[in-house]
């Protein structure tokens, strides 16, 4: 199946005709190259506001690369070239938006918790402080609200001034989510946020994602198909840098159009 056919399929799917939810992120004909090597082929999809969109696919299929185009983290890598366009709230993020501003609007949670060697409080307050917020009361409020938003306030409220690195992996990851929330973003990108966590911590993060979607638009990369099925509203299946299928999650998992999607979700490869 050629890239053109895929585009047709995406365009014909029920998604683009759905009018009730605002399109938050719109991606058109996105190609990405690492030097000579092409990693994404003509990706086009719309991500809707206040929904959880899951990106699934085997390792190296381009789902993480795609996720990182949304807050321009790929800019950090030498030799990355991008064509096509991505708009967030109708603004082309590669042309008109300032990258610093973009990243305050589009938060990110990484595969492995990457808290700084500072206290819990300082980690969460880091972003706002860098934005120039100095008022103690205001910072206290932001930190508390963010930690509550990440459902970890009760666990850490008595030790905000202790090292964040002393927490368990699952707690650290939720602090990372709080740190992202503290910037008051519209969109939160999550790159396999639970792949390093135990099942109970994973469950907590999944519940959190469920609760967060009323306030944020969430895009999550996951290796775990049950997770995609549990938490997401829409699912995009990536294979070799192309979007094979993008649809409502329940449809993807019950009656996928494409044979490759079916093979993947039934565990025949990947």
Residue 60 CB partners (closer than 8 Å, separation 6+): none
Measured between alpha carbons, how far is residue 244 from residues 2, 160, 213, 261, 264 in Å? 10, 45, 25, 7, 11
Of 70 and 239, the one with the shorter C-beta distance to other proteins is 70
Least Cβ distance, residue 237 to other proteins (angstroms): 26
Among 2, 135, 140, 162, binds other proteins (CB under 8 A): 162
Least Cβ distance, residue 69 to other proteins (angstroms): 13
143 makes contact with other proteins (CB under 8 A): no
d(CA 180, CA 253): 30
d(CA 220, CA 53): 6
Among 54, 108, 197, 228, binds other proteins (CB under 8 A): 108
117 makes contact with other proteins (CB under 8 A): yes
114 makes contact with other proteins (CB under 8 A): yes
d(CA 105, CA 145): 17
Binding track over 221-260 against other proteins, x by CB under 8 A: ----------------------------------------
For the CA atoms of 154, 186, 7, 60, the dihedral, rounded to the nearest 10 degrees, stands at: -50
Nearest 5°: phi and psi at 45? Answer: -160, 160
Binding track over 63-102 against other proteins, x by CB under 8 A: --------x-x--x-x---------------------xxx
41 makes contact with other proteins (CB under 8 A): no
d(CA 261, CA 40): 18
Residues near other proteins (CB under 8 A): 71, 73, 76, 78, 100-105, 107-108, 110, 112, 114-119, 126-127, 130-131, 162-165, 176, 179-180, 183
């Amino acid at each position: 199946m050629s890239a053109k056919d895929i585009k047709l399929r995406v365009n014909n799917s029920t998604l683009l005709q759905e009018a009730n939810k605002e399109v938050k992120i719109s991606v058109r004909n996105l190609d990405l190259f690492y030097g000579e090597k092409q990693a994404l082929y003509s990706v086009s999809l719309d991500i809707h506001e206040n929904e959880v969109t899951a990106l699934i696919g085997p390792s190296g299929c381009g789902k993480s690369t795609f996720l990182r185009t949304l807050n321009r983290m790929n800019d950090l890598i030498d030799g990355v070239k991008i064509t096509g366009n991505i708009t967030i709230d109708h603004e082309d993020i590669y042309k008109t938006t300032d990258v610093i501003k973009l990243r305050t609007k589009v938060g990110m949670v990484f595969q492995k918790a990457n808290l700084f060697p500072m206290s819990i409080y300082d980690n969460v307050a880091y972003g706002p402080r860098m934005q120039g917020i100095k008022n103690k009361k205001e910072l206290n409020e932001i930190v508390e609200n963010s930690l509550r938003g990440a459902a970890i306030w009760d666990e850490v409220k008595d030790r905000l001034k202790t090292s964040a690195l002393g927490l368990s992996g699952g707690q650290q990851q939720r602090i990372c989510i709080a740190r992202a929330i503290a910037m008051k973003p519209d969109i939160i990108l999550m790159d396999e946020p639970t792949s390093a966590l135990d099942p109970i911590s994973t469950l907590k993060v999944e519940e959190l994602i469920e609760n967060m979607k009323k306030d944020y638009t969430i895009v999550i990369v996951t290796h775990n198909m049950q997770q995609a099925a549990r938490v997401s509203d829409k699912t995009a299946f990536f294979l070799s840098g192309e979007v094979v299928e993008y649809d409502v999650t329940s449809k993807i998992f019950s009656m996928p159009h494409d044979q490759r999607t079916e093979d993947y979700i039934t565990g025949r490869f990947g």
